[in-house]
């Protein structure tokens, strides 16, 4: 049954509620009210609803429960009964983990049929890299450097989510992360603030579109505010120690971009920053985000993070934690049960103010109006859409497109790739070669276990009838007792370190084949939340398998499946060809086969640096120079005695089946003013035999500043397509805004001085030009 606003409110008999129904349904009444700085009609409706709410109903709007229980059947626990009673009283603002139209409809009905004001719920879910159609993990998709592609994949994820009744996702994660040990590096866009900003905005636009009230869009969430990706030692949830300038220049730019792009919600972080938990960080949430940035969206806590301030040693109990969090600007309590229990008493004791409480409630109500839930609480509950618009052939075809563009060719000695489809024999070996689950990655939404196209399936579908394929697993990655399917998320992995019985068969297959495709790396549950590791090499017996196969067949194509930068030092020494394939989603095997056999020329570039050794972590290209940056023949410099200082495969790196030649950089002038701009240009030519795509990258260095500046910073990129022998000129506009940073004056500004500029195919490009900025 569809509920219009007028029908919704006329079911309530009080005079005030009848009046608010009139306001919400009558454009004439709205126009006669005093306009608001924001979208006037919505603000008036928000204020009207707020004026009718009792204290318990206001507090309830700030409560979010996980609803993985069955709302349609009997409650199974005391906790579920508590949630049900709260729902009936209208004392819940949002539910997460309620999925499917049927479950969402039934849960919404509890509110609509029992509560006094019948304020609809928002339903949320972690739609991180796809809902049912699974796209590459965000780190992998970021390797495409294709903003339109990423916006479209988020749009498809939003359409599938909305078709299943959902209205809100906790994505994108825009934490800058520079430590490969951190398992959650898979969920973001890597080590660079500029790239994170651009990709974050693209994903937000994809989720939200131009109109949040559309039944095809959902609210996005910029997370985690802030510093989560900088946890010490790469440990999840760990403390963060950074200065104010690192915070503003490295961590906050993606969040500022998200706020300016109109992201509907933010999520705060688990970590503390210099001793203050992010959930209770007033300077970040209330003063900066809601104050200086004037952002009017909804701030939600991360799961239980309000209550976790007790474990931090920052709050003495949940009552104290609730006081800190609301004062700091955290609007909605996700699963801490702190707000519902204590905000009323805190208000009475004047530990919080009604203005603070009302501001938080307004943000919740505003989002519900923007989503159109007051007009129709069931507008997303369409069984036909859920049946016909989820996991469609069109969506899967696009997932294949995204996946193949996310693959990075790291090495291709002697043009080992692409392989001929008419090979007489091919060995497909490895623990991940016929794995149909790991390609789905972590955070796979409602992706079905074991539903991905495996590498073996993709290859079989690509080669000719006369090609003999030999398949051997070689070794199991984990011991059988922990191959738990969907239950692996909550269980630590135990790797196979003893059973090498399958290696002889793999060696026999390699001996018979012209070429070996060896699929190794990580399964889906080695990266993600809580999946930090000190060892970023190949777990279990994968190294032993690699060495045994290499002894009998040197023609090896390594297909890496992983969610973090790995230690590839040995692999890069012996394998002639390496493809970084991440966890590519539903169409993984088909996409890899497209690249392996040359139907698609790889164009991906690394969004993260790959180290020679885990001891280099955290590793990133835009480091500072130090006073002793380098020395080839002296001990006392800022480097290592047993490993290079640089990356094995640097940020921005990626090969192609063709080659690109860069001409000399030209500048249209050598001096610019503080409010001016310079155009930097370069000619790029495809000097190979096949068409290809290249990501042309612009880097800048501020040579002298009031603060030490990075050796290079990405300031622009453009993905171009060139036919064999063709060339084009790529132009970048370097504006004064692009050169700003958060200076020693504690403000964003451009400082006069000399700047170096590079344009090339990765962050190590050398030819440069210089220009000056003058007042």
302 carries an active-site annotation: yes
Task: Give 210: exposed, middle or buried? Use CB within 10 Å, 0-12, 13-18, 19+.
Answer: exposed
Q: Of 69, 127, 73, 71, which is closest to residue 103 (Cα–Cα)?
A: 71
Annotate 583-635 with three-state secondary structure: CCCCCHHHHHHHHHCCCCCCCCCCCCCECCCHHHCCCCCCCECCCCCCCCCCC
8 A C-beta contact, residue 340 and residue 60? yes
CA distance 607 to 605: 6
8 A C-beta contact, residue 441 and residue 186? yes
How do the residues of the chain divide into helix, strand and coil, expressed in percent and rounded to 5? 35, 20, 45
Task: Give 705: exposed, middle or buried? Use CB within 10 Å, 0-12, 13-18, 19+.
Answer: middle
Token output for 103: 């479950």
CA distance 575 to 556: 6
Task: Taking the CA atoms of 454, 452, 417 and 422 in sequence, report the sign of the dihedral they define.
Answer: positive
What stretches of 219-288 adopt beta strand conformation (E)?
A: 221-225, 265-268, 272-273, 276-277
Annotate 357-401 with three-state secondary structure: HHHHHHHHHHHHHHCCCCCCCCCCCCHHHHHHCCCCHHHHHHHHH
* Coil, helix or strand at residue 339: helix
CA dihedral 139, 140, 144, 146 (to 10 degrees): -50
Q: Of 179, 161, 159, which is closest to residue 170 (Cα–Cα)?
A: 161
Q: Give whole-number Cα distances, 465 to 212, 315, 461, in Å.
A: 50, 67, 10
Residue with tokens 């928002």: 122
Token output for 304: 């239980």
DSSP string, 19-45: HHHHHHH-HHHHHTSPP-SS-HHHHHH
**Greatest C-alpha distance within the chain:** 86
Token output for 286: 């209330």
8 A C-beta contact, residue 94 and residue 123? yes
- Beta carbons within 10 angstroms of residue 508's beta carbon: 14
DSSP string, 100-126: SHHHHHHHHHHHHHH-SS-PPPEEEE-
8 A C-beta contact, residue 402 and residue 141? yes
Q: Which residues contact 689 (CB under 8 A, 6 or more apart)?
A: 658, 724
CA distance 112 to 94: 14
Which candidate in 302, 331, 375, 382 is catalytic?
Answer: 302
Task: Taking the CA atoms of 634, 639, 644 and 650 in sequence, report the sign of the dihedral they define.
Answer: negative
Token output for 90: 């209208």
Task: Taking the CA atoms of 415, 421, 422 and 424 in sequence, report the sign of the dihedral they define.
Answer: positive
Q: Which residues contact 506 (CB under 8 A, 6 or more apart)?
A: 427, 429, 472, 473, 474, 475, 545, 548, 549
Q: Of 119, 73, 140, 543, which is closest to residue 365 (Cα–Cα)?
A: 119
Task: Enumerate the active-site residues.
Answer: 302
């Amino acid at each position: 049954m569809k509920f219009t606003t007028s029908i919704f409110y006329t079911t309530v008999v009080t005079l005030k509620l009848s009046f608010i129904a009139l306001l919400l349904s009558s454009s004439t009444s709205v126009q006669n009210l005093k306009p608001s700085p924001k979208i006037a009609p919505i603000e008036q409706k928000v204020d009207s609803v707020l004026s009718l709410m009792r204290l318990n109903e206001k507090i309830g709007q700030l409560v979010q429960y996980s609803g993985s229980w069955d709302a349609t059947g009997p409650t199974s626990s005391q906790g579920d009964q508590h949630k049900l009673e709260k729902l009936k009283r209208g004392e819940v603002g949002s539910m997460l983990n309620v999925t499917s139209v049927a479950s969402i409809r039934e849960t919404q009905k509890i509110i609509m049929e029992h509560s006094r004001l019948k304020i609809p719920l928002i339903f949320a879910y972690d739609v991180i890299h796809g809902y049912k159609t699974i796209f590459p993990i965000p780190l992998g998709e970021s390797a495409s450097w294709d903003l339109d592609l990423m916006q479209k994949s988020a749009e498809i994820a939003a359409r599938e989510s909305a078709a299943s009744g959902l209205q809100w996702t906790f994505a994108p994660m825009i934490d800058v992360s520079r430590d490969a040990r951190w398992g959650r590096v898979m969920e973001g866009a890597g080590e660079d603030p500029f790239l994170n900003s651009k990709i974050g905005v693209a994903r937000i636009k994809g989720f939200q579109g131009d109109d949040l009230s559309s039944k095809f869009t959902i609210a996005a969430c910029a997370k985690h505010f802030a510093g989560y990706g900088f946890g010490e030692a790469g440990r999840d949830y760990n403390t963060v120690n950074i200065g104010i300038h690192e915070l503003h220049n490295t961590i906050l730019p993606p969040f500022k971009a998200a706020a300016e792009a109109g992201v509907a919600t933010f999520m705060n972080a688990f970590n503390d920053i210099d001793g203050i938990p992010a959930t209770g960080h007033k300077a970040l949430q209330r003063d900066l985000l809601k104050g200086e940035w004037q952002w009017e969206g909804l701030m939600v806590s991360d799961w239980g993070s309000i209550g976790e301030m007790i474990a931090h040693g920052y709050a003495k109990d949940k009552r104290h934690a609730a006081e800190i969090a609301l004062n700091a600007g955290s609007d909605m309590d996700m699963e801490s049960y702190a707000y519902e229990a204590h905000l009323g008493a805190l208000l009475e004791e004047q530990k919080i103010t009604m203005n603070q409480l009302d501001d938080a409630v307004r943000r919740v109500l505003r989002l519900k109006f923007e989503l159109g839930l007051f007009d129709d609480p069931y507008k997303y509950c369409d069984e036909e859409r859920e049946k016909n618009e989820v996991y469609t052939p069109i969506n899967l075809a696009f997932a294949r497109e995204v996946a193949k563009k996310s693959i990075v060719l790291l090495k291709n000695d002697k043009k080992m790739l692409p392989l001929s489809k008419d090979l007489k024999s091919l060995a497909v070996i490895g623990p991940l070669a016929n794995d149909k689950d790991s390609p789905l990655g972590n955070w796979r939404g409602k992706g079905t276990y074991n539903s991905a196209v495996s590498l073996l399936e993709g290859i079989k579908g690509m080669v000719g009838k006369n090609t003999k394929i030999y398949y051997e697993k070689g070794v199991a990655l984990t011991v059988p007792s922990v191959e738990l399917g969907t239950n692996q998320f909550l269980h630590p992995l135990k790797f196979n370190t003893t059973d090498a019985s399958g290696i002889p068969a793999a060696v026999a297959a390699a001996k018979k084949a012209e070429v070996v495709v060896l699929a190794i790396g990580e399964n889906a549950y080695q990266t993600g939340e809580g999946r930090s590791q000190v060892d970023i090499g190949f777990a279990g017996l994968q190294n032993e398998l690699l060495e045994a196969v290499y002894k009998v067949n040197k023609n090896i194509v390594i297909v890496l499946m992983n969610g973090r930068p790995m230690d590839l030092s040995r692999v890069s020494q012996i394998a002639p060809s390496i493809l970084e394939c991440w966890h590519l989603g539903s169409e993984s095997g088909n996409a890899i086969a497209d690249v392996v056999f040359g139907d698609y020329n790889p164009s991906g570039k690394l969004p993260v640096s790959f180290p020679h050794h885990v001891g280099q972590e955290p590793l990133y290209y835009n480091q500072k120079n130090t006073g002793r940056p380098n020395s080839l023949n002296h001990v006392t410099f800022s480097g290592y005695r047993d490993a290079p200082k640089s990356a094995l495969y640097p940020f921005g790196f990626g090969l192609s089946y063709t080659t690109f030649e860069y001409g000399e950089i030209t500048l249209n002038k050598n001096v610019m003013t503080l409010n001016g701009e310079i155009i930097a240009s370069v000619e790029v030519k495809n000097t190979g035999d096949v068409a290809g795509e290249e990501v042309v990258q612009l880097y800048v260095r501020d040579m002298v500043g009031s603060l030490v500046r990075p050796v290079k910073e990405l300031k622009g990129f453009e993905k171009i397509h060139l036919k064999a022998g063709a060339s084009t000129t790529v132009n970048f506009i370097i504006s004064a805004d692009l050169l700003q940073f958060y200076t020693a004056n504690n403000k964003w500004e451009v400082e006069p001085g000399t700047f170096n500029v590079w344009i090339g195919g990765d962050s190590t490009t050398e030819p440069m030009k210089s220009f000056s900025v003058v007042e």
